Amino acid sequence: MYTFPHKNILDADQFTQEDINYIIEKTNQMRILEKQGRAFGLLRGKILASLFFEASTRTRLSFESAMERLAGRVISTVGFQFSSISKGETLFDTMKMVEAYSDIAVIRHPIEGSSRIAGAAVKIPVINAGDGAGQHPTQALLDMYTIISEKKEIDGLTIGFIGDLKYGRTIHSLIKLLRYYKVHLHLISPKELYLIDSYKKDLEKYPITYEETGDIKAMWECDVIYVTRIQEERFPDYKEYEKLKETYKVNKEMILASKKDTTVLHPLPRVNELSTDVDDLPNAAYFRQAKYGVFVRMTLLCLCLGVEIPKAE
Ligand code: ASP
């Protein structure tokens, strides 16, 4: 019998294919329970600490919504400015306080590896909601869930990642989940923003295959197109960002020239890399993707807290 083995969710690398399948199956259950009004109550009496030290709309609100939909409560701190970290407190000490006040914590932080420090400091479960240019594992799980919901099967898909593959943490995490499947990736980015070598090297051990290109036309062969924002806030040299920020702009015409049923994903927010004229096409799945995030996060909160998700009839 399979038991979910993770207390913390820190890096997509921690998941086996069995874990991924289990999370997808439980999310399907959760989605039905939520619709039937049976999810409310699963986390009654539990408190989530929502610690967002970097900008966020979807991730923070979807975690908080997830907790509320399970009848749990949320306490939060947003930005360094209003937390004692601005007075010089260490993340370790902050986490010790969080542990005293809550049952589970979700943390977003600009420094890569910070969620690991947070997780090591406390006994309560800690979920990484994005650490610098590092990882964003819950986004990757909702991306997987969306791809399965839209396409049914992962094996056999050609997936195009477009944009900032160097600093884009959602891609860093999603690639770690996709590596178990027979998918072919088109890594489409300017040379300066190619995927980091360590991620590419890791893929060599798995069934996944990939090719790199700067040519946007590679998207025409893809079943799924995953567009990303150039990560302005991560560039050490702003001039470099200015040079690259307009590299790609995916628009309606380009989607119509692609495979007819290609699915367009974006972790959002978008700036100008994905035109709003795509929104009305049936291919545009990014708003559904954001919505699925709530079900995935409801599921993960329960799993990390060891709370059983009842079977949905
Ligand atoms: N919302 C995603 C993240 O936090 C994508 C982005 O910011 O571009 O990584």
Q: What is the pLDDT of residues 253-272, one digit of tens each?
A: 999 999 999 999 999 999 99
Averaged over 129-146, what is the pLDDT?
A: 98
The alpha carbon of 308 and the centre of ligand 1 are apart by a number of angstroms equal to 30
Burial 113-132 (b: 16+ CB within 10 A, else e): ebbbbbbebbebbbbbbbbb
Selecting among 26, 46, 60, 108, the annotated active-site residue is: 108
Residue 55 Cα: closest atom of ligand 1: 4
| Within-domain flag for 311 | no
Provide the token pair at 43: 């986390």
| Within-domain flag for 4 | no
Name the 3-class secondary structure at 297.
Answer: helix
Q: How many domains does the chain have?
A: 2
Averaged over 223-248, what is the pLDDT?
A: 97
59: annotated active-site residue: yes
Averaged over 140-150, what is the pLDDT?
A: 98
**Could you tell me if 130 and 161 lie in one domain?**
no
Percent of the residues in the chain that have a pLDDT greater than 90, as a whole number = 94
**Could you tell me if 88 and 155 lie in one domain?**
no
Q: Which residue has the tokens 């790199």?
A: 212
The pLDDT value recorded for residue 89 is: 82
What's the CA gap between 216 and 254, in Å, rounded? 9
Going from the C-alpha of 214 to that of each of 147, 189, 221, 246, the distances in angstroms are 24, 5, 15, 13
The pLDDT value recorded for residue 81 is: 74
Residue 229 Cα: closest atom of ligand 1: 8
Pocket of ligand 1 (CB under 6 A): 130, 136, 169-170, 229, 267
| Within-domain flag for 155 | yes
The range of the structural domain enclosing residue 202 comes to 137-289
**Could you tell me if 116 and 159 lie in one domain?**
no
Instruction: Report DSSP letters for 54-87, one per residue.
Output: S--SHHHHHHHHHHHHTT-EEEEEESSTTSGGGG
**Could you tell me if 156 and 283 lie in one domain?**
yes
Averaged over 164-175, what is the pLDDT?
A: 98
Is residue 88's pLDDT more than 80? no
The alpha carbon of 139 and the centre of ligand 1 are apart by a number of angstroms equal to 9
The pLDDT value recorded for residue 134 is: 97
44: annotated active-site residue: no
Report the candidate in 59, 247, 68, 256 with the shortest Cα–Cα distance to residue 143: 59
Is residue 83's pLDDT more than 80? no
266: annotated active-site residue: no
136: annotated active-site residue: yes
Average pLDDT, the chain: 96
The alpha carbon of 52 and the centre of ligand 1 are apart by a number of angstroms equal to 13
